[in-house]
Structure 1
């Protein structure tokens, strides 16, 4: 990429972050181009779709999120890792209003620019769940798709202003339904 194109790319991403912070995932591509002081064609040359723009915006955060899952796999007990993973996910979801809906839609669409990132988050989630299930600390009647769906639903829910203040409580309820016993309380018989 030429130096001027690279500078344009970085500038567009900086402005896009600001616009998305103000308007969420529904931010207008035209508004982003206008505020970046570039033509819509220039914006679309760098980011041919809204998903491509979000992939570029979220790439660093999603990489960090999936890296965190790897750390949790080795440094925490399986049930604590799942609870921590949910909290990390919620922090991410609350940082990018509306992005959870885009990710949920891209989850099964290999043609989506967000597909690879969604697949990485899904895979990390599934590994953490399988580890907890192998230790008998998570329900055995769910899989990675179920967990990703619960994470997406919770992320979407706390996007709503009336539920945002209850995010921690909702994480506690959802993880309590997944785990066979509360973190740190010792194993007990798995629920049917």
Structure 2
């Protein structure tokens, strides 16, 4: 990529992050281009869809979430590893308003530009879940799809009912375990 094109790409990403933080993932793409000092044609040349822009912004953080899971697989007890990772996944899914829906939709849509990074991250969660199940620390009737539905529910709560979010996540995680207080 030419140096000027690379600068434009980076400016668009920086402005998109700001816009998504302020307005959620449905922020105006034209406003993002304008704030970057570029035309919307430049934005669409680099990011033909909102999903391609989201994928570029989230690629590193989703890979980091996957790496965190990989580390937890070898450093923590199975139940603790899963709980720690689920909490991190919920926090990640709420970095921008509306993100949890886009992430969940991308897991069901193989044509989604977010699908490959989300699927890789989901694979890590599945391994953490299976490890905790094999250790007898988590219910065996929980599927990885069910785990992601729980993460989405907790993320939705964090976004829409933040004062109840910690309690909801605690109850959801407690419901996964085989031991109850």
Q: Which residue of 1 aligns with 2:14?
A: 14
Residue pairs, 1:1-192, within 5 angstroms: 1-160=1-160, 163-181=161-179
Aligned residue for 2:94, secondary structure, equals helix
CA RMSD for the aligned pairs?
1.3
After the TM superposition, which segments of 4 or more aligned residues of structure 1 sit over 3 Å from their partners?
none
1:28: how far off? 1.1
Q: Is the 8 A contact 1:82 1:175 kept in 2?
A: no
**How many Å separate the matches in 2 of 1:97 and 1:55?**
15
- Give the drift of 1:114: 0.3
Q: TM-score, normalised by structure 1?
A: 0.90
The answer to which of 82-91 and 17-26 deviates more is 82-91
Cα contact 2:157–2:168 (8 A) shared by 1: no
Once the two structures are TM-superposed, the CA of residue 149 in structure 1 deviates from its matched residue by: 1.4
How many residues matched? 181
Per-residue CA deviation, residues 113-132 of structure 1 (Å, 9 max, x unaligned), is 10011101211111111001
* Unaligned 5+ runs, structure 2: none
Q: TM-score normalised to the size of structure 2?
A: 0.95
Verify the 8 A CA contact 2:94 2:155 in the aligned structure 1: yes
Shift of 1:168: 2.2
C-alpha contact (below 8 Å) 1:133/1:140 kept by paired residues? yes
Segment of structure 1 superposing worse, 93-102 or 124-133: 93-102
